[in-house]
Amino acid sequence: MPPRSRPHPAPDGRDRGANPTRSAGPQETGPEGGRDLLGQPRGLLTLSGLEVWERFSFLGMQAILVLFFSATTADGGLDMEPGAAASVAAGYSTLVYLLSVAGGWIADRMLGSYRSVLYGGFLIACGHYAMAVPVPAFTWIGLGLISAGTGMLKPNVAAMVGKLYSATDERRDAGFSLYYMSINVGAFLGPIITGLLGEDIDWHWGFSAAAVGMTLGIIQYIAGRRNLAGRKEGAEFPLPPAAMRRAVWLIVGGVLAVAAVCVALSLAGALTLSGFVDALTYVSMAAPIVYFTVLWRSPRVTREERGRLRPFLVLWLASVAFNFVLFQSYTVLVLLTDQHVNTSVFGYHVPSSWISSALGAVSVLSAPFIAGAWQRMGPRQPHASNKLALGVLLGGLGFLVLVPTLLGTSGTGWEISLVWIVLAVLFIGVGDVLLESTGLSATSKLAPAAFSSQALALWFLSLALATGIQAQTVKFYGQISDSLYFTLNGAVAVVVALAVFAVAPWLRRTMHPVH
């Protein structure tokens, strides 16, 4: 793809005509001349609709994945030990968010955000259709395709939301809260459908529902493309033509080489699931160090932009702490519910995977109130760092609230009330909205102009590191007492939240233009 012409750079190093945060202000029309809808850019509806179906498929499948892994072969599962099943499921999430770095780079340098999201959606749909085939090999092929597709789609959708607003638009945080609410609409509906089909009929029926959901998401994304900024353009900072061709061959060759090595090692018995998960954990630790170094040293990053990377690192580490707790809601919390919670409600046995839906429901119900509060408060709303720290604190409390009822439990046959799980989900769900909507909004404003999509990918690397660490810690689930397990994990998030509150004055001084 040849590079499109760009205007003369401004003195601060940014391209005025290609500024990824420039778009309609409060009194302007949106992209392509479209009008605002209910006080927000019309393109927000298209991108939010895509996220509804992407999260429907991704988290719907994620909700039953650990149960599928741990189910016996007689029940159609892969017969893994619970701790191992949770570790492999966490490893899969790690791979997804690691690949978001590649997805962000491809958008910034090769395809542009619109095309990257579109192609990523196709890969995700193909992956879910592959998992619908009741053959173990297709399960792993499907997970690989979904990982690659989500890496292409996830950071770039968030970057496209940021392009709907100017950096000083006070609607921005509210818009990201509404966007994140749409994510959780899918997070609520997905596990309900896949849980019913997967647990009550067949696991692969659940995977089929995820495939249909992603297909619907692609259709509505294409239908609403006229409201999106940059849909007619390629990469904002494209590679030269020769470098573009080399990059294509390197990507194709690299994918084929990695696949060949994995197959060869697997056939030789040198590659195990546990070893692969461990390798992903190491990569999730190294990748953020490398990427922050690249951003810090890049000549495309101005001095002012480089200064904003320091507070961004603090927010990034807070995200690691929160998501370390959040993603265990899809593994350890589901296993705890499946094994030790009486899920009978008015005589109906609620599928254990519906805990994931409850998490989405809390986020959906709380997001409008949070978004409305920020809009009403305007410039008086709390600083972004305090919003984010509060989210991390609530996440930690979500695990700690379980500790009193888990004290003294051991062995098998014991049960706790479903009320405790619902209370934990309430804390975590509200914390999720506070942290992720604020974090995505802040990242889109703190991002260097030349790395708009890649900065969002770097934000998702915090999820990769969180799930990478989780892939190791969940191995202790069932090996130590449940009360100690949830105490240690919840305490990590609480300590990090208090540390962010402590440095809030410094963050307020250094995070301009974030308020």
What are the two backbone dihedrals, phi and then psi, of residue 480, each rounded to the nearest 5 degrees?
A: -120, 170
The reported pLDDT for the residue numbered 13 is 37
10 vs 117, residue with greater confidence: 117
Task: Note if the bond before 513 is cis, omega within 30 degrees.
Answer: yes
Report DSSP letters for 78-144, one per residue. Answer: ----HHHHHHHHHHHHHHHHHHHHHHHHHIIIII-HHHHHHHHHHHHHHHHHHHTSSSHHHHHHHHH
The reported pLDDT for the residue numbered 466 is 92
Cα(93)–Cα(88) distance, integer angstroms: 9
Instruction: State the burial class of residue 493 (Cβ atoms within 10 Å of its Cβ: 0-12, 13-18, 19+).
Output: buried
- Mean pLDDT for 412-429 is 87
pLDDT above 80 for 171: no
The reported pLDDT for the residue numbered 24 is 38
Residues β-bridged to residue 477: 480
Q: What is the mean pLDDT of the chain?
A: 81
Q: What is the largest CA-CA distance in the chain?
A: 70
CB atoms within 10 A of CB 209: 24
Query: Rg of the Cα trace of the chain?
Result: 22
CB atoms within 10 A of CB 13: 16
Q: What percent of the chain has pLDDT over 90?
A: 17
pLDDT above 50 for 354: yes
pLDDT above 90 for 394: yes
The reported pLDDT for the residue numbered 304 is 83
Instruction: State the burial class of residue 513 (Cβ atoms within 10 Å of its Cβ: 0-12, 13-18, 19+).
Output: exposed
160 vs 488, residue with greater confidence: 488
**Under CATH, to which class is 30-237+269-510 assigned?**
mainly alpha
- Mean pLDDT for 122-146 is 90
Sequence ranges of the domains in the chain: 30-237+269-510
Cα(53)–Cα(136) distance, integer angstroms: 25
Distances in Å between the Cα of 332 and the Cα atoms of 66, 219, 233, 274, 426 are 9, 34, 43, 17, 16
* Single-letter residue type at 152: M
Cα(499)–Cα(507) distance, integer angstroms: 12
Q: How confident is the model at residue 508 (pLDDT cuts 50, 70, 90)?
A: confident
User: In this structure, are residues 487 and 313 in contact, taking their beta carbons and an 8 Å threshold?
Assistant: no
Q: How confident is the model at residue 503 (pLDDT cuts 50, 70, 90)?
A: very high
411 vs 350, residue with greater confidence: 350
The helix (H) or strand (E) run that includes residue 344 is strand 344-345
pLDDT above 50 for 302: yes
C-alpha torsion angle, residues 411, 415, 416, 418 (rounded to 10)? 130
Cα(449)–Cα(444) distance, integer angstroms: 9
Place of tokens 């998401």: 217
